[in-house]
Each structure stands twice: as C-alpha cells, then as structure tokens.
Amino acid sequence: MAQWFWLRETHRGADQFNSIHERLIAAWRKCRGRTVHFSGVSEHAEDEMTVLYLRDTCEQAGVRTKPVFIQDIGWDEARGVFVDLDLDPSNNVSNSYPWGMALEREFAAHLSRESARGSNPRGKCC
C-alpha cells in the first residue's frame, strides 16, 4: 500500500505494472474441486495477514478454503492422511511456515507420502 501512495505522490498518472494479484488467482484456479487448507503460525500478525491474503486470492479463484494453524495439523495413522482439528483431510496445504522447520516436527516422516501436497507463496499450487 505504501508503494501505491508513493507512486501517486511522485508520479502522477502512472500505474503499477504488477499483476501478482491476478496471477495468484489464476494459479489457484487449478485447485478447483479441492479444499485448500491455509496454515500459518498462531499469534504472529505478519504471518496471519499473509495467510489471509493468499486465502482470499484462492477463494476469488473459486476454490474452497479452510484455515488451520500449523500446530493443529496432525496425522491420522488409520487413514494415512494429514488432518485438521475437525479430522478433515488436509491433503492440500498452503502454508507460510518454513518447510525446513516442518521437517523437524514429529509428522515429518509422512511429508514424503503422495497424499501430502503443499505449497507456499513461492511454490506451486496443489
């Protein structure tokens, strides 16, 4: 937002040549028909805003989303899937939590399974 105000004040009539918002929405469209869980660290304001923004772009693409904190994702051994607190499968997760740190969690051994797909702001969708 600060960049937009700076541009308006210093370059009247100019426009930003930035299509990241539209490109995020286009990228999320390939996840239609799935539910994408959006995860971050609880009580971290910057993380929360990033996750909310990405979740909004996903919903604008017509994709069902569901929030879940990283610490609330578990492993259901019987079904062989990651789950949220409602025990709904979390097969498609977009998170802002560093994957390197996720590899240190107890469920890290299950991250290599085919059923687990993840993305982050720099990664591929679903």
Q: What confidence tens digit (pLDDT) does each residue in 13-54 have?
A: 777 667 888 999 999 999 999 999 998 877 778 888 999 999
pLDDT value at position 4?
Answer: 73
pLDDT value at position 103?
Answer: 66
pLDDT value at position 27?
Answer: 94
The kind and range of the H/E element at 102 are helix 99-102
Residues 64, 117 contacting (CB under 8 angstroms): no
The answer, yes or no, to whether residue 109 has pLDDT greater than 50, is yes
The answer, yes or no, to whether residue 87 has pLDDT greater than 60, is yes
Query: What angle, 0 to 180 degrees and rounded to 10, lies between the N-to-C axes of helices 45-60 and 20-28?
Result: 60
Mean pLDDT of 77-100: 84
Q: Locate 1 and state its tokens.
A: 């937002």
Domain boundaries, the chain: 22-119
Pairing of strands 92-95, 117-119: parallel
The answer, yes or no, to whether residue 74 has pLDDT greater than 80, is yes
Provide the H-helix boundaries in 29-84.
45-60
In the CATH hierarchy, which fold is given to the domain comprising 22-119?
Answer: Rossmann fold (3.40.50)
Per the model's pLDDT, the better-predicted residue between 61 and 109 turns out to be: 61
The answer, yes or no, to whether residue 123 has pLDDT greater than 50, is no
3-state secondary structure of 79: coil
